[in-house]
Amino acid sequence: MGTNRWIRVSDQDRQCVVELLSEAYAVGRLSREEFDERFAAAYSARTYGELRDLTADLPLPAARTGLPSDIVASRRTPQSASRRLIGLLIWTFFVLVLAARLAGGTCIYNQLVI
């Protein structure tokens, strides 16, 4: 958030504070009543100072370096499966083409030679 207490906030700023409050509630730093009060105040806040007051006694969230591992895993699995399927289809195609050429070529070769 900005450093000036009187600068107006955006909807995105309010949403970030609500996410911080939700995390604090989830781990037990806020009671349900405190969460409800701060939640309402966050959405009605107009300045950075108001939002800062709502989160002053809460620790900053841990830095996130990427997607959670379960989301990453769920995204990788279909991609890997689809790549394996494509690879299998390509190999099957080549084997069938090779078998057809060998079978067809042998017959044609035999007919030409005879």
Q: What is the pLDDT of residues 51-88, one digit of tens each?
A: 999 999 998 776 555 555 554 454 444 556 667 777 77
- On whether the CB atoms of residues 70 and 58 are closer than 8 A, the answer is no
Predicted TM-score (pTM) of this structure: 0.53
6 alpha carbon, distance to own chain's centre: 34
Across the range 21-27, mean pLDDT stands at: 92
- Please provide the DSSP assignment of 16-81 as one string: HHHHHHHHHHHTTSS-HHHHHHHHHHHHH--BHHHHHHHHTTSPPPPPP-SS-HHHHHHHHHHHHH
Q: Say what the pLDDT of residue 93 is.
A: 75
d(CA 30, CA 43): 17
Q: Is the pLDDT of residue 10 over 50?
A: yes
